[in-house]
Amino acid sequence: MSKQTGTIVTVVVALITLCCSLFICLFGAMIAFGGGEWAVDFGVPYEGQIEPAYGYPVICLGFLIWIIPVLVGVLVARRSRNEA
């Protein structure tokens, strides 16, 4: 695998990770602002609302996932500078 292919793969993985974590942040925000409702029907219908406090850890998880592509980019850039 060439250096250019490795860089392209790294960028694609970073974009996929960022897109997924963006949706995690959006769902966490929806829950935090009172939009989290659930309904289950196992013969007897159950429904309720998710507590808004559960949305904040989900938002933090989404932001934590954003750190991964940034760290990969920094480490790849540092390694390429050392090789040059």
H helical segments located in the chain: 3-32, 55-83
Give me the number of domains the chain comprises. 1
Structure tokens at 23: 């949706």
In a domain, 5, yes or no: no
In a domain, 66, yes or no: yes
In a domain, 2, yes or no: no
Domain around 82: 17-37+50-84
In a domain, 44, yes or no: no
In a domain, 74, yes or no: yes
Structure tokens at 38: 């659930």
Choice between 35 and 27, residue whose per-residue pLDDT is larger: 27
- Biggest CA–CA distance in the chain, Å, is 66
Residue range 45-82, pLDDT digits in tens: 888 888 889 999 999 998 888 887 778 778 877 776 66
In a domain, 26, yes or no: yes
In a domain, 32, yes or no: yes
Residue range 29-43, pLDDT digits in tens: 998 998 878 888 887
Structure tokens at 62: 């989404």
Full-model pTM: 0.66
Neighbours of 17 (CB within 10 A): 16
Assess whether pLDDT exceeds 90 at residue 14.
no
